[in-house]
Chains A and B, each alone.
Chain A
Amino acid sequence: MRLSIVIILLFFINHIGNTSVWNICPSCQLKSLEEALDRAEPMDTIRVQKGLYECVDIEINKPVVIIGDEGAVIDGLEKGYVLKILSDSVTISGLKIINAGKSYTKDFAAIYVYRANHFTLSNLEIINPFFGILLEKSKNGNVHHNKVYGVSQREDDSGNGIHLWHCSNVIIEQNEVYGLRDGIYLEFVDDSKVMNNYTHDNIRYGLHFMFSNRDEYVENIFENNGAGVAVMFSKFILMKENTFTHNWGTASYGLLLKEIYDAEVIDNSFTENTIGIFIDGSTRINYTENLFEQNGWAVKVSGGCYTNKFFKNNFIGNSFDISYNAKMNDNTFDGNYWSDYTGYDLDKDGIGDVPYRPVKLFSYIVNKTPETIILLRSLFVDIINFSEKVSPVFTPDNLIDNQPSTFIFQ
């Protein structure tokens, strides 16, 4: 009796001290991930060697590390979820996942994480999934260096690349997502970071925020998506050093802010978007040191935006710098560089002596009658813009940059 206890104890100590590695490959003793998962003890490592493995709805219920060799491919047979992570401390990396299921009623995902803590998903390649990585009610995870892509055409039958719902403290970095509905989607996600990702050519948004507070996204590139980034109904968001580019199309924009409070938009670059930033009902937001270049509209302000501050931004070569649809203004635009500024600086202090009016009469007209855009850059339009500049009648008369910079901010 005593001996058996000692043996059992020894067995456990052995297992705590050094975890074992389970190899699976088509010619090994273990041929599938399921078998390996059955045998593995918590904290073990499963090494998936080169080969094709069929996996449908596989549940990972214990903390394990799954590492794929190069050429390790998981095939979901288009039947449902592929891997479901239901335990804390699971790490998955290096796998290539194909043929995840599609459904109109269920959110099938290549990798599904539910109520898990301390997970790491890295170096995965997920090809043509419904949802790529779906995280629900999970915390303290890390999703990095993954590549998720598809060939979606329509919004209604495609899912999102990396989708988070009710999560917190998740770090998403260095991922590439393209050809899906939304590149990265966060809903009810707090205190998380989205960094250095590259999302492009998605049908809807590159990055989509809903009801998520105290998050930051930094140094991401959003290119050629239906719209770059939509941030809605969120508070205390930091948006820094991102690039929004080539979001062209009917009413498409680089960044949409809807019902956002107390956010910081710093050092981003908006180039060649139909609308650089579209602001609707957003309050107490600071826009500093951003670059707006060659956009249709650099900033389009809709109703209900109060105490927003634009400072030290560069507005270069946009068709319209600022567009307003109302006569009231509670936002400040002091101290920016405007390439359309024609004033002078006699005392050479780098601040123009004549205030600049960023809202042109023509942008007001285009707001009311969109078809008039056909007259863009015509001589008549220049003339009416000039007369409005001299004596404003239609545009908010307190919308002025009192200290326009005469040099481009670096």
Chain B
Amino acid sequence: MMLKVLKYSFSDLIRSRWSYVYLAFYLVLGFVLLFLNENLSKAVITLMNIVVVLTPMIGTIFGIMYFYNSREFTELLLAQPIRRRTIFLGQYLGVALSLSLSLILGLGIPFTIYGITQSGQIWDFATLLISGTFLTFIFSGLSIYIGLLNSNKIKGFGYAILIWLFFAVIYDGIFLISLIVFDDYPLDKFTLFASFFNPIDLSRIMILLKLDISALLGYTGALFQKFFGTGQGLIVAFIMLLLWVAGPMLLMVKKSTKKDF
């Protein structure tokens, strides 16, 4: 049943104009970047900045928009003998999957044409797409949860944007300031810890490590290098991202079963 809801949401979104706009945006971005750079590894670095900031934002906005727009359809479904969990998870996965597909196709096509599969950067690029997908899942989940919490659209939109802004900018600001203020204390453990609680930071670090500046991170001290320089760090970061996907999803399910529509 969930698959059916997923299919409906997915095909609904796939047919919508915005999915194509999003896809077209990535296609154009990919081609322009490669046209200007010619250098795959540099294009990957530039892309990182965009993916890490943009995918969460699009995920957030799309998630909340879709949730409010399909309210009537949701109410129709709620009247049917379907479990609430099924309905909302189906919708969520529909949004997240269609967005991820746009991302993967939109960037995958130009880079494949320019021969990423034959180059040494294939794994950097794969990490980029994987973390982009993770971010899409995390932030569309968060925004649907916010939608469930707020019936007021304006409020919901506001909170969703704020969540994105918080993780993309404000969190790093607080992080940076606390690092500077507590300069006299040993900070490496705190830094490691703090970077785990922001999915955007986490995926940024994951990509940076792939892009061979792990030694640069090593500059800060042995702990960093030991942790991020090895496969262990990558695995922990990966698990952390999975938890970040699971968290909003669980909250969403919990809220949806209790919510009074």
Query: What interface size band does chain A fall in?
Result: 20 to 34
Instruction: Determine if B188 is an interface residue (Cβ-Cβ < 8 Å).
Output: yes
B191 neighbours in A (Cβ, 8 Å): 371, 374
0/1 per residue, A230-263, Cβ < 8 Å to B?
A: 0000000000000000001111100000000000
Q: Give the complex CA separation of A378 and B224 in angstroms.
A: 18
Q: Are A379 and B220 in contact (CB under 8 A)?
A: no
Query: Scoring A residues 42 to 54 as 1 if CB is less than 8 Å from chain B, else 0, what string do you get?
Result: 0000000000000
Q: What are 6 sample pairs from A and B whose C-beta atoms fall under 8 A apart?
A: A250-B218, A296-B213, A374-B195, A378-B52, A379-B49, A380-B176
Contact partner of B216 among A369, A376, A383, CB < 8 A?
A376
Contact code string B213-235 (vs A, CB < 8 Å = 1, else 0): 10111111110110000000000
B residues less than 8 Å from A336 (CB atoms): none
| A-B pair number, CB within 8 angstroms | 86
Q: Which of A252, A375, A376, A381 contacts B213 (CB 8 A)?
A: A376
**Complex Cα gap A252–B173 (Å):** 29
Q: Mark B85-120, 1 if CB is under 8 A from A, else 0.
A: 000000000000000000000000000000000000
Q: Shortest Cβ distance from B247 into chain A, in angstroms?
A: 22
Return chain A residues, CB-CB under 8 Å to B222. Answer: 250
Verify if A40 is at the interface (C-beta below 8 Å from B): no
Contact digits for B162-203, partner A, Cβ 8 Å, 1 yes 0 no = 000000111011011001100100011001000100001100
**Residue contact B169 to A380, C-beta cutoff 8 Å:** yes
**Would you call A60 an interface residue if the criterion is a C-beta within 8 Å of the partner chain's C-beta atoms?**
no
Contact partner of A370 (CB less than 8 A), chosen from B49, B170, B201, B221, is B221
Asked if A377 and B215 make an inter-chain contact with CB atoms under 8 angstroms apart, the answer reads no
Asked if residues B219 and A372 are in contact (CB atoms below 8 Å), the reply is no
Q: Mark A360-387, 1 if CB is under 8 A from B, else 0.
A: 0000010011111111111111110000
Please pick, from A365, A368, A370, A379, the residue contacting B219 in the complex, using a CB distance under 8 A.
A370
Q: Chain B: how many interface residues by the 8 Å CB criterion? A: 37
The verdict on A274 contacting B215 (CB below 8 Å), with A369-B183, A371-B191, A371-B220 known, is: yes
Do A371 and B187 touch (CB < 8 A)? yes
A369 to B216, CA, bound (A): 14
Are A248 and B179 within 8 A (Cβ)?
no
A392 to chain B, nearest CB (A): 18
CB <8 Å contact, A251 and B219: yes
* Cβ B172 vs Cβ A368 within 8 A: no
Q: Given that A368-B183, A380-B169, A380-B173 are known contacts, is A373 also in contact with B217, CB under 8 Å in the complex?
A: yes
Interface residues in A332-377 by Cβ distance below 8 A to B read 365, 368-377
B204 CB within 8 Å of chain A: yes
On A, residues with C-beta under 8 Å from B are: 248-252, 272, 274, 296, 317, 319, 365, 368-383
Residues on B close to A: CB < 8 A? 42, 45, 48-49, 52-53, 168-170, 172-173, 175-176, 179-180, 183, 187-188, 191, 195, 200-201, 204-205, 208, 212-213, 215-222, 224-225
Give CA–CA (A373, B218) in the complex, Å: 10
* Cβ contact of B49, chosen from A248, A252, A377, cutoff 8 A: A377
* Residues of chain B within 8 A of A365, CB atoms compared: 176, 180
Given A378-B204, A379-B169, A380-B173, are A373 and B180 also a contact pair (CB < 8 Å)? Answer: no
> Of all chain A residues, which has the CB nearest B204?
A378
Q: Are B195 and A250 in contact (CB under 8 A)?
A: no
Check A379–B175 contact: CB distance below 8 A: no
**Alpha-carbon gap, A251 to B183, bound state (A):** 19
Which residues of A have CB within 8 Å of B175? 375
Interchain CA distance A382-B220 in the complex, whole Å: 20
| Shortest Cβ distance from residue A88 to the other chain B in the assembled complex, whole angstroms | 47
Q: Are B172 and A377 in contact (CB under 8 A)?
A: no
Q: Which residues of B contact A249 (CB under 8 A)?
A: 215, 218
Complex: chain A residue closest to B190, CB-CB: A371
Supposing A296-B215, A296-B216, A370-B220 touch, asked if A379 and B168 sit within 8 A by C-beta, the answer is yes
Minimum CB distance partner of B191 in chain A? A371
Say whether A380 contacts B172, CB under 8 Å. Answer: yes
Contact A375 B176 (CB under 8 A): yes
| Nearest 10 A/B pairs, CB to CB | A380-B172, A248-B215, A296-B216, A371-B187, A370-B220, A371-B191, A378-B172, A250-B218, A372-B179, A380-B173
